[in-house]
Structure 1
């Protein structure tokens, strides 16, 4: 006959062995087809050879990447957004929720202990006590003071799978927080450069309005002298009013952009304004990096990968539902019919095993409920795999788009500068010839319109280049290390 002590040790050893029998699938990150280099990045053969398998680095400090633009006002706006944006605060609260859920899942790894004290007033039936129907039977009071404990031995990894899933979901929430943070930083920079571009357009229209006002005075003087007809005066007034109207349109766009920026900073539009300052041409070096680095740096990809890990762990929990569950319970304390006798040694009591039910439960038939749960978990995992791969492909596309945009904008800006110079020269010649009477005022109008159009296109290209630079930084995951990375020049 096995002695009690030996039996306890044997039972404990058996539980430890069974606890290691996890039935969940081993998680392995799905493969993704990746090019050795970006199509637009023009990497050298030496750079291409540095391709490596991705190692998650989405939690690295991206630093103040916007400082590459060397703009003090932008630096201040980014700091305000990081401190007061409500979307960022909501994302931080979601991380706190996920961490609390993770702690709740981890609590199932430990025994539950509780204590209780109080009386029980009861009267058992005569039949339950084996008494005759007319036998005297009075109610009794029983005082109890005891400590109870319960523990589920994680025989097949159900609890551990739940902890793994909660841990992965916490990491997913943290990655999503960093994604919201990066998006906020980029949106602030985008809005800021949009406002600066509109300031440059507004300055262009102010100079145009001033120039057309002077031209109108000249035309009116010539009309008063009888050199030209009233038609030229009407045309000059129309061009002046047109420039003033377009200037008001730019002012309206700037007001809307300023309101949007205020919301990003966590402020009411009524409490925020930014002084006008035209956008200047910027030139910064941005490393595009290798395709594998996207899997390391981009927080949205990290979040999609962690969602897969959580779904994989949920499969393990669903599979464990098919196997027995062992719950160890017990209670130790005192009970007495009189509260004054409750703590006497003779009143001690204990209970090992469940008060109701069984210690070891084995599911037999549930109408397919557990199989449905397993099928759902597997389908969720397949969904997350597809989302992960699509997220990676989208990331590659965003980087390629930004690189091609910067490359083409660089060439387009050079060509546009030539167009501005040619338009300005044509306008200068048309004004001279008009004063000499060799061309009509329509030629002057066309030339002035051409200058305004070409200058406005040049200003818009400068704004597009600044915003494309921000898009590229967002696409490659934020800040960077210049060592060993290809650089795209603006």
Structure 2
């Protein structure tokens, strides 16, 4: 009869079992990957994959060593600053702690795959009342002492995939935390490099302005002497002093910017601003910048930790759909216990004092007002959100790379143009000085030529710093490495 009952029940239970224990198969969302970066059309050759195609399917490679990309700048001071930041920056420390938390949660979920076994030892001394023993009030009752020892075990049979789905979700969360940590570390390293290069660019700009100040001081000295001799009027002397004051004010403003950048760098490397100082080190014209190949567009899916994290978040959300579905089906638990109770501790371990239990329980919701169904709907919506976030991350990554490539291209063109302007400005200032010294030119013409030269020299230095920081931005956009 039992066999017949089982045969009739199987067709009913089997579809439920199959439906419940199957977490939806994760499918990588389709993302349109461009054949080449837009900026590759401006003189950069499109690189090809090994099979000759200009694109390939991006595969997450969060475990791929990204290398110490900052060493390409060949600057020992930068190497030391990034090493300090990696070790002492508190945002990085907090992100690493979140990785530990997520991995611990995954370990807790892993523990649900195994039986829980416990042991207990106890002693009890009791004196019941007469009424508890159904005796007349006032009847003397004995005082008893008992000892017990017990082993217990419980196990949830993962019939409908709740445990395995929850474990997959927890592992996905741990992967997300790890990718986030790598993203924080990448951003930290890039911020340190950019702030340091900004400091060096400010040092170079400040050097240029200080040269202008010295030139203005010399101009005031010469003009004052000529005014005392009666060669020129007071107007020229007043203009010379005005230009000197303006140049000094610009130098003071640059010193303020440098102080703020130095303080920001101190925070990044995990030091108090009061205890941190960096000696002046102007970004020289001869400072070589690394040339970074952009590679294949789909390589962003392999290198960028934020994209890897978005993909792992999708996988975790997909697994939680399985957890939500399993709540609609029975949970099957097995419990067992064995031990002994005796009047003395030695009696506890006698065979005659043994006690044991073995049980199984299956429970499932019958009426929940649609709560579990709505949990499934919510989990599916979370997956939809994660897919949208993933696609947005990919689009943002492509835009950031093209932004940096465009920035480097434009800055290169600007630098070429400003270098030509610099030669002309120097020639113009030299001619104006000669004409003024010979009495054939006005002081206003000389000031205008000198002011243009100072402006062009500052632009040259600023563009040099912008190119260095944009190079770092491209490295960040490419996921912290290339090759």
TM-score normalised by length of structure 2: 0.90
Q: Give the match for residue 109 of structure 1.
A: 113
Q: Does 1:36 align with 2:42?
A: no
CA distance in 2, matches of 1:96, 1:170: 8
Q: Deviations over 1:108-149 (max 9, x none)?
A: 0000000112246789999999x8999x99687653211000
Q: Give the match for residue 70 of structure 1.
A: 74
For structure 1, list consecutive stretches of 5 or more residues without a partner in the other structure. Answer: 3-13, 482-490
Task: Answer yes or no: is the 8 Å Cα contact 2:20–2:326 preserved in 1.
Answer: no
For structure 2, list consecutive stretches of 5 or more residues without a partner in the other structure. Answer: 3-12
Q: Give the match for residue 158 of structure 2.
A: 154
Q: 1:207, CA displacement in angstroms?
A: 0.9
Task: Answer yes or no: is the 8 Å Cα contact 2:48–2:55 preserved in 1.
Answer: no
Structure 1 residues 91 and 234: CA distance shift in structure 2, 3 A: same
Q: 1:23, CA displacement in angstroms?
A: 2.8
Of 190, 194, 197, which aligns to 2:201? 197
CA distance in 2, matches of 1:284, 1:254: 25
CA distance in 1, matches of 2:401, 2:298: 12
Structure 1 residues 216 and 108: CA distance shift in structure 2, 3 A: same
Task: Answer yes or no: is the 8 Å Cα contact 1:20–1:155 preserved in 2.
Answer: no
Of 457, 473, 477, which aligns to 1:471? 473
Of 208, 212, 221, which aligns to 1:217? 221
Structure 1 residues 50 and 133: CA distance shift in structure 2, 3 A: farther
Q: Give the match for residue 368 of structure 1.
A: 370
Q: Deviations over 1:80-130 (max 9, x none)?
A: 21122111111111111111111011000000000112246789999999x
Q: Deviations over 1:56-82 (max 9, x none)?
A: 112211111111111121112112211
Q: Does 1:298 align with 2:304?
A: yes
CA distance in 2, matches of 1:123, 1:363: 43
Q: Give the match for residue 289 of structure 2.
A: 283
Deviates more, 1:190-199 or 1:85-94: 85-94
CA distance in 2, matches of 1:166, 1:433: 79
Q: Does 1:350 align with 2:349?
A: no
Q: Deviations over 1:287-339 (max 9, x none)?
A: 10111100000000001111111111111100000010000001011123554
Alignment of 1:324-339 (within 5 A): 324-339=330-345
Q: Give the match for residue 9 of structure 2.
A: none
Q: Does 1:451 align with 2:450?
A: no
CA distance in 1, matches of 2:387, 2:129: 61
Alignment of 1:60-459 (within 5 A): 60-119=64-123, 143-281=147-285, 282-353=288-359, 359-459=361-461
Deviates more, 1:116-125 or 1:448-457: 116-125
Q: Give the match for residue 24 of structure 2.
A: 25
**Alignment coverage as a number of residue pairs:** 464
CA distance in 1, matches of 2:375, 2:196: 49
Structure 1 residues 169 and 387: CA distance shift in structure 2, 3 A: same
CA distance in 2, matches of 1:46, 1:463: 32
Task: Answer yes or no: is the 8 Å Cα contact 1:40–1:403 preserved in 2.
Answer: yes
| Partner SS for 2:336 | strand
Task: Answer yes or no: is the 8 Å Cα contact 2:122–2:147 preserved in 1.
Answer: yes
CA distance in 2, matches of 1:205, 1:362: 79
CA distance in 1, matches of 2:47, 2:259: 49
| Partner SS for 1:327 | strand
Structure 1 residues 123 and 35: CA distance shift in structure 2, 3 A: farther
CA distance in 1, matches of 2:465, 2:92: 26
Structure 1 residues 314 and 127: CA distance shift in structure 2, 3 A: farther
Q: 1:402, CA displacement in angstroms?
A: 0.3
Task: Answer yes or no: is the 8 Å Cα contact 1:19–1:155 preserved in 2.
Answer: no
CA distance in 1, matches of 2:25, 2:83: 43
Q: Give the match for residue 486 of structure 1.
A: none
| Partner SS for 1:266 | coil
Q: 1:431, CA displacement in angstroms?
A: 1.4
Task: Answer yes or no: is the 8 Å Cα contact 1:37–1:43 preserved in 2.
Answer: no
Q: Give the match for residue 8 of structure 2.
A: none
